[in-house]
A and B are shown apart, each in its own frame.
Chain A
Amino acid sequence: MWRRLVRDGQFLMALGVVGLIVGVGVLGPRFVRNPHAFVWLPNQPPSRQFLLGTDPFGRDVLARLVVGIRTSLLVGVYAGLIGVALGVTVGLVSGYMKGVAGETLNLLTNVVMVFPVLPVLIILAAIFERRSLVLVGTIIGVVSWPWAARCIRAQVLSLREREFVRLAKISGDRHVKIAFLEIMPYMLAYIVMVFVLMLGGAIGAEAGISMIGLGPTDAVSLGNLLFWAMVHEATRVGHWWTFLPPGLVLTLLTVFSLIMHKRMDQIFNPRLRTW
């Protein structure tokens, strides 16, 4: 199954694009100028010296973009990890346990899921004094875990009736052990898939709240770049170099991680495979 994934053309292409962006985010900051340093005149269009020009402070836009990618990825990873951790736990338990416990957890999942996310994010973000990366990632993770929980729960529901689980039950293993040791390994691929989805979603969500000014207060992120571009009226004054690149990178990142997710879904779930 994994082998088929690795040989799939579309998946590889999507992985390539995402990988390239991630690579830029991880390694790039070492090779660019200091994104906080005032290196040149403000508002300069792209030139050979400054490939993406300078922002209204006089800082290198390319450097800020590269560091922004890293920041957004970090937020995405935090959010994804938390979302997956919470989601897998809740999903496993609610899927596996029949009766009141399972139903209550399921109810909780649905209630949190059905809430409009953005107002909650806005309010949570406004409470905290200084919003670090970890905080923003945590907030996003805490708000988006229901999705993971739901997906996981569906899988667990179907796996629950399989023979190996019954065997484990007959041999007297405790429920927790069954849930985590027997069922979860089957879902590893699925969990990875869900993580990829959450990563993409979290990066988009971070950009969303940054645009309204409620993102991380002490870091450069893609959403932050868009926020400053909007505040400096970049579209009205025609400073496309501050405005287009962050949005483009965001779109590519989210689109291609979604493609990755979809290909994984299709390959792991052969009925969905279209070619």
Chain B
Amino acid sequence: MKVSWHVTVCLLVLGLGIPAMAQPVVIPRDEIVWAGGYWTLPGNWNPLGWGTAWGTFFMYEPLFAWVHDKVVGIIGESIAWVDPWTIEIKIRDAARWSDGKPITAEDVIYTFDYLYPRHWKNLGYDARRERSEALSEKVLRIYLKKEFPYSRVVWGALTGGTLILPKHIWTEIEAVHGFPYEWVYNNDWRPIKPEWRVASGMYFPTAATPEYEILMRNEEWWGKAVWGLPQPKYLGHRFFATNYAANVAFERGDLDWSGFYYPRIWEIATKPAGPFVNTWTMRKPPYFAHSSVVEIVFNHNIYPLNEPWLHHAIAYALNYRDISIVSVSGYVEQALVTRISPQSAEGAKLTDWDIVKSHQPYYDPEKAIAILEEYCFRHGGFWYTKDAPAVWRGTPVEDMLPDVPGRNVRLGPWTMIVPYGWTDSMMQTVLFQRDIGEIGIKVEPVFLEFGTYTAKFMAMDFQLMHFCMGGGGYDATFHGNYSWNYTGTPGQWTNFSGWYHPDFPGEPPSAQEFVALLDQLDITAEGTPEEKVLVSKLQEILAKEMPTLPVFYNAYWYSFSQMYWHNWPTLENPYLQPLAPWAVANPGAMQILVRSLKKGAQPIPADEYPWVPAF
């Protein structure tokens, strides 16, 4: 097909001419803070939806934020217990929506009492609340049910990350869309109805593609009268398909606020962004704060996996330092036997160090074998228990060596499930296999598709499990974390080990005691001596029984580059706790961080703060 060259030239000219007339839209690099690490891609900015986009947490604001262990006001000005069953909250006078209307107590009540529970959030709060009352435009009181004095759950919900929504807009949205689920995942920021784009926050979404999300500063933000406008004009979040790409971007200075895993971070010193990169601990090991606990979970429905002496034996068999170095560049530290990280506010205050001193395990394979020898003996290459109960949780326990006295149950071989693709978890499981094998128990890692992995632990269909989704890090509370991990129906996204089982009371009795103590803690006021006693008792039970084996505190992936912005929180500048871009459970703190950033490059002097390798 011969196309005349005249036509070709005309097409070329047209083709190049039209684009040439449009102006490129460039965002100056020094006006934007680029973050990375949040997983959910932009699609809806609806805080009631499932999997909200990152920008939502800068678009709307919560009442309060947690800064270390203090409650700091965002929309709210103050919160206090009036009596054991009443909380009073005052909202800031200056707080206003973007359409000019003030943020009122009605908005808060509407959000907490109607919107959130309607969409399956804050249900614990909902169960404990009797009613709420607006005393004036800016003051409200919440009345609790008689059984829940000083309830931590309620306090936690009110001071937590609930984003306040405007009643006058959302009643309208619901009237139009009716049944909640249909609009719960519809984006209220898409051009459906511009009048509905009302929020109170500092940044509003401007552009979004599956590769990034960009927010632009709200110049009319009410908070400018209180704190001033944040310095970054834009806030952006980038999504990378591979860690490799994210880390290259970080090395080059394309990323300011990183929530990614960077192996051997001291090697970044030679890269372009090296002089500007820093971590929470100012370039010294372990570089990162504590995130959730990495633990080995024992399925308590299977004998002898429920036996505490087995848990302790394995605890002494693990070479914690070596596993940390090999699997995560030495970033992770061994977890306390009481589970909660001492970096968390409650952990710092309430950790019973006597219990830790007397019960904390360490790497000592000989001690592990000594523990085993007390309860077991070797036979044919395996350990067998000297004795065992006849029935455990309704299942008869089989005697595997009938001609030897006592009921003998073999230890292992067992399987340990772990999600395939979570490489540090996979590496750790392989290393567990190595170390537990050294004391004579065979453990086989089983790498499962994540869907299969969750299906299995929800059905309690496993023997051992590598688990790192149980919280316990720098923001953990004793009541919250212990409840999550050790109470409730086993497997259903809670109580993963099945140590406490509602169908088998008294198997073991320590679990029942533990749950009762937790319920008592819920209604014990904070800061009282009773609280300390209760928490110590809880820790003692946990240390003795060890229903799950806390191995490490996962590293909290918070690192940043000062190539364009400085004044990030660090150990030496701890105006905030470490915050990764995915810390969306505490959006107020993230907002405080962004409005504290100052424009301009500030390299960190290498002679004062050299990079110290972890190994």
Instruction: Identify the A interface with B (CB < 8 A).
Output: 38, 42, 56-58, 126, 129-130, 213, 217-218, 228, 230-233, 235-237
Contacts and interface: CB of A to CB of B under 8 A. Distances in A.
B331 to A, nearest CB: 14
Given A57-B427, A130-B448, A38 B434 contact: yes
Given A233-B243, A236-B247, A130 B447 contact: yes
Contact of A58 (B326, B423, B447): B326
Contacts of B267: 237
Contacts of B325: 42
Contacts of B326: 38, 42, 56-58
A129 B454 CA distance: 12
B427 A236 contact: no
A129 B452 contact: yes
Contacts of A213: 420-421
Interface of B: 242-244, 247-248, 263-264, 267, 325-326, 420-421, 423, 427, 430, 434, 446-449, 451-452
A58 B244 CA distance: 21
A141 B297 CA distance: 38
A235 B449 contact: no
Nearest to B325: A42
A126 B450 CA distance: 9
19 contacts: A38-B326, A38-B434, A42-B325, A57-B427, A57-B430, A130-B446, A213-B420, A213-B421, A217-B420, A217-B446, A217-B447, A217-B448, A218-B446, A230-B244, A233-B243, A235-B244, A236-B247, A237-B263, A237-B264
A56 B615 CA distance: 14
Contacts, number: 45
Contacts of B423: 228, 231-232
A interface: dominant SS: loop
A161 to B, nearest CB: 42
Contacts of B264: 237
Question: Closest 6 CB pairs between A and B?
Answer: A217-B447, A233-B244, A213-B421, A231-B423, A129-B452, A236-B244
B274 to A, nearest CB: 14
A213 B248 CA distance: 22
Given A130-B447, A217-B420, A236-B247, 20 more contacts: A38-B434, A58-B326, A129-B448, A129-B452, A130-B448, A213-B421, A217-B446, A217-B447, A217-B448, A218-B446, A228-B423, A230-B242, A230-B244, A232-B423, A233-B244, A233-B263, A235-B244, A236-B248, A237-B263, A237-B267
A231 B447 CA distance: 16
A185 to B, nearest CB: 45
A233 B449 contact: no
A218 B434 CA distance: 15
Residue with the greatest number of chain B CB neighbours at <10 A, chosen from A218, A233, A235: A233
A232 B263 CA distance: 8
A233 B242 CA distance: 9
A222 B248 CA distance: 26
A129 B263 contact: no
A214 to B, nearest CB: 8
A56 B329 CA distance: 10
A129 B462 CA distance: 13
A38 B438 CA distance: 13
A213 B421 CA distance: 6
Contacts of B247: 233, 236
A129 B248 contact: no
A83 to B, nearest CB: 25
Nearest to B264: A237
Contacts of A231: 243, 423
A122 to B, nearest CB: 11
A230 B242 CA distance: 9
B494 to A, nearest CB: 23
B7 to A, nearest CB: 37
A231 B420 CA distance: 12
B457 to A, nearest CB: 13
Contacts of B451: 126
Contacts of A38: 326, 434
Contacts of A130: 446-448
A230 B451 CA distance: 23
A213 B422 CA distance: 10
A42 B323 CA distance: 12
Nearest to B415: A130
A139 B62 CA distance: 51
A217 B446 CA distance: 8
A119 to B, nearest CB: 16
Contacts of B447: 130, 217-218
A213 to B, nearest CB: 5
A32 to B, nearest CB: 19
Contacts of A218: 446-447
A230 B427 CA distance: 15
A46 to B, nearest CB: 19
Nearest to B322: A38
Contacts of B449: 126, 129
A128 to B, nearest CB: 8
A130 B451 CA distance: 12
A237 B423 CA distance: 17
A261 B158 CA distance: 71
A126 B244 CA distance: 24
Residue with the greatest number of chain A CB neighbours at <10 A, chosen from B244, B325, B446, B452: B244
A218 B429 CA distance: 13
Residue with the greatest number of chain B CB neighbours at <10 A, chosen from A38, A129, A218, A232: A129
